[in-house]
Amino acid sequence: DAKTTQPNSMESNEEEPVHLPCNHSTISGTDYIHWYRQLPSQGPEYVIHGLTSNVNNRMASLAIAEDRKSSTLILHRATLRDAAVYYCILRDQNNAGNMLTFGGGTRLMVKP
Amino acid sequence: GAGVSQSPSNKVTEKGKDVELRCDPISGHTALYWYRQSLGQGLEFLIYFQGNSAPDKSGLPSDRFSAERTGGSVSTLTIQRTQQEDSAVYLCASSLGAVLGTEAFFGQGTRLTVV
């Protein structure tokens, strides 16, 4: 399976934008890029996903590089509640055994 | 409707005893996943069910671990002869399917402590 690389941790100030990078240089043409986050003492929750085009939803934006070898999750205004571990995951739409494979993720710390 | 429900939320058991952890997925979700997360660690895949297909058991750490899914709905993860290293949070997730950009919904987990 194609793997992703993320920084171990990042810091942000409250109410400032946050850009969380993810490298996936071995991504295949059928891989979707998914982002999940895990708040303290909770199960992971879905944030956003995309294939080729940039995506926006109420939680975040996903910017995907033209060659799809990297992507960036954008939180437009970080709040203290956004402090979590953010996971970038590739899911192959053609793979019937399509479990989510979680890497180490990026621990985002938000300072007031 | 309700999300993914797991029970019990906490379980303390003695070393050597068997435990059963239950997962109620979202109604209509054909895919169901079990993961575990040790303290301060990432998520470790255990087993995956998709519809009527044979489950993917490639993540089960030993033959003490087994899981079943009855009627394509409720799933039970069983750990026999528990060991202290089995202590972790066991997370269940479900999704509509395992293709395209389907979102997986996670339960709150069962915190298992083996003493």
Residues A63-88 have pLDDT tens digits of: 999 999 999 999 999 999 999 999 99
Average pLDDT over residues B25-53: 90
Tell me the nearest-neighbour CA distance from A16 into chain B, angstroms: 27
> Is the CB of residue B96 less than 8 Å away from at least one CB of chain A?
no
Q: Average pLDDT, whole number, for chain A?
A: 91
Which H/E stretch holds residue A111? strand A106-111
Evaluate if residue A101 carries a pLDDT over 90. Answer: no
- Residue B53 to residue A96, Cβ atoms within 8 A: yes
pLDDT of A1 over the 70 cut: no
SS (HEC) of A18-81? EEEEEECCCCCCCEEEEEEEECCCCCCEEEEEECCCCEECCCCEEEECCCCCEEEEEECCCCHH
Q: What is the pLDDT of residue A98?
A: 61
Asked if B104 and A32 touch (Cβ cutoff 8 Å), the reply is no
Q: Which has the higher per-residue pLDDT, A19 or B51?
A: A19
Residue-level pLDDT at A2: 63
**pLDDT for B86:** 97
Q: What is the mean pLDDT of chain B?
A: 91
Check whether A31 has a pLDDT greater than 50: yes
Q: Considering only alpha carbons, which residue of chain A is nearest residue B100?
A: A93
The pLDDT value given to residue A94:
65
Contact state of A34 with B56 under an 8 Å Cβ cutoff: no
Could you tell me the pLDDT band of residue A96, with boundaries at 50, 70 and 90?
very low
Tell me how many residue pairs between chain A and chain B have CB atoms under 8 A apart. 62
Residues of B in contact with A103 (CB under 8 A): 42
* CA–CA distance, A82 with B45 (Å, rounded to integer): 25
Kind plus residue range of the DSSP H or E element containing B32 = strand B31-37
* Integer Cα distance of A36 and A57 in angstroms: 13
A86 is written with which tokens? 């953010």
Stretch B17-28: mean pLDDT, rounded?
96
Q: Region B16-21: what's the mean pLDDT?
A: 98
Cβ-based burial of A105 (10 A; exposed 0-12, middle 13-18, buried ≥19): buried
Residues of chain A with C-beta less than 8 angstroms from the C-beta of B100: 32, 93
β-pairing verdict for A106-111 and A18-23: unpaired
Whether A49 contacts chain B with CB within 8 A: yes
Task: Please indicate if any CB of chain B lies within 8 Å of the CB of A103.
Answer: yes
Cβ–Cβ below 8 Å for B99 and A98:
yes
**Which has more pLDDT, B88 or A93?**
B88
